[in-house]
Chain A
């Protein structure tokens, strides 16, 4: 399955169908991140309801230092 994450193409195993599995795949389960799916920012609850499909666009961001 092809997913665009942070503007880069990623060919992922078809077994990854949820945001949770995606986070596990990239070792992000214990990292504070915020996720946008096809242009929609997802709350923690909403993350559990998304079914990933090929061609989906994901942004994974986090807080960094800034003024």
Chain B
């Protein structure tokens, strides 16, 4: 079970809802992933073209919603978006996301931590999206963040874990759950993070933009299960020399 604040989830996969080609594929991918948590963004409604609810095809009541503060460039904007999300009355978790500039879209750590502190004081369950910096993770944890969400690599890049050293430091030091968020490209990336001891994975593009998103959703589910099992099982230490697995008797003719 994954525990974040007062919430408990069977699945350690948190799934984003952006970038899908069509609603039906998305629905099937969400089901295949067996996720319990769906992330959403907030957007101003176009009063001249209201159209259908962009997420009406997802049975929202079956999931815990994790809105993000995407679009915010400052702590104040992130706080506004978080309050708007909570005013819906259907969620009090928030992924604090204060994004810097292209091409990296890396989070702005100063504004992210500011917003985290304000929202914690207002009783939100706060999950800050941060760079994979152990000191930032420590600061967020000290503020009282309910989970730390370090990026594996830039959003949507699919580069996987570019700094396994930093990521492992964050996982080892953190007393709150570590959810690796952003940059996961393939199932082995998710599995690797889980093998290190991450508590969960948040991903979106890797499933939404896969050739077969439904199949990839299931692959990610399995990879995360495998990584978690591997972590709990305890891997062998690495060695620079071989250790034989079979008897080494001498069969040379003498």
Shortest distance from the beta carbon of B218 to any chain A beta carbon, whole Å? 19
- What total of chain A residues lie within 8 Å of the partner, measured CB to CB? 28
Q: With A32-B88, A67-B17, A67-B18 given, is the CB distance from A62 to B53 under 8 Å?
A: yes
* Interface membership of chain B positions 16-47, coded 1 if the CB is closer than 8 angstroms to chain A and 0 otherwise: 11111000001000000000000111111101
Interface membership of A28, Cβ < 8 A: yes
Shortest distance from the beta carbon of A43 to any chain B beta carbon, whole Å? 5
Shortest distance from the beta carbon of A29 to any chain B beta carbon, whole Å? 11
Of A43, A44, A63, the residue contacting B55 (CB under 8 A) is A63
Of A6, A32, A39, A43, the residue contacting B44 (CB under 8 A) is A6
User: Is the pair A63, B44 in contact by a Cβ cutoff of 8 Å?
Assistant: no
User: Is the pair A35, B87 in contact by a Cβ cutoff of 8 Å?
Assistant: yes
User: Is the pair A66, B45 in contact by a Cβ cutoff of 8 Å?
Assistant: no
Bound form: Cα–Cα A64–B86 in Å: 15
Bound form: Cα–Cα A32–B40 in Å: 14
User: Is the pair A67, B43 in contact by a Cβ cutoff of 8 Å?
Assistant: no
Chain B residues numbered 37-92 whose CB sits less than 8 Å from any CB in chain A: 39-45, 47, 50, 53-55, 65, 67-68, 70, 80, 83-89
Interface membership of A1, Cβ < 8 A: no
Interface membership of B116, Cβ < 8 A: no
Q: Which residues of B contact A21 (CB under 8 A)?
A: none
Q: Which residues of B contact A34 (CB under 8 A)?
A: 42, 84-85, 87-88
Interface membership of B202, Cβ < 8 A: yes
Whose C-beta in chain A lies nearest to the C-beta of B129?
Answer: A67
User: Is the pair B43, A62 in contact by a Cβ cutoff of 8 Å?
Assistant: yes
User: Is the pair A67, B47 in contact by a Cβ cutoff of 8 Å?
Assistant: no
Of A40, A41, A63, the residue contacting B40 (CB under 8 A) is A63
Q: Count A/B pairs, Cβ under 8 Å.
A: 105
Bound form: Cα–Cα A67–B47 in Å: 24
Chain A residues numbered 33-61 whose CB sits less than 8 Å from any CB in chain B: 33-36, 39-44, 46, 59-61
Of B18, B53, B67, B88, the residue contacting A31 (CB under 8 A) is B53
Shortest distance from the beta carbon of A39 to any chain B beta carbon, whole Å? 7
User: Is the pair A61, B47 in contact by a Cβ cutoff of 8 Å?
Assistant: no
Interface membership of A4, Cβ < 8 A: no
Interface membership of B155, Cβ < 8 A: yes
Of A5, A27, A63, A67, the residue contacting B42 (CB under 8 A) is A63
Q: Which residues of B contact A6 (CB under 8 A)?
A: 44-45, 47
Interchain residue pairs A-B with the least CB separation, the first 5: A66-B41, A67-B16, A67-B204, A41-B83, A41-B87
14 contacts between A and B (CB under 8 A): A31-B45, A34-B42, A35-B87, A36-B84, A60-B45, A61-B45, A62-B45, A63-B42, A63-B65, A66-B17, A66-B42, A66-B204, A67-B17, A67-B18
Give chain B's interface residues, CB within 8 Å of chain A. Answer: 16-20, 26, 39-45, 47, 50, 53-55, 65, 67-68, 70, 80, 83-89, 155-156, 182, 202-205
Question: Apart from A7-B44, A36-B80, A43-B89, what are 11 other A-B pairs with CB-CB below 8 Å?
Answer: A28-B50, A40-B83, A41-B86, A59-B44, A59-B84, A60-B45, A63-B40, A63-B42, A64-B42, A64-B43, A67-B182
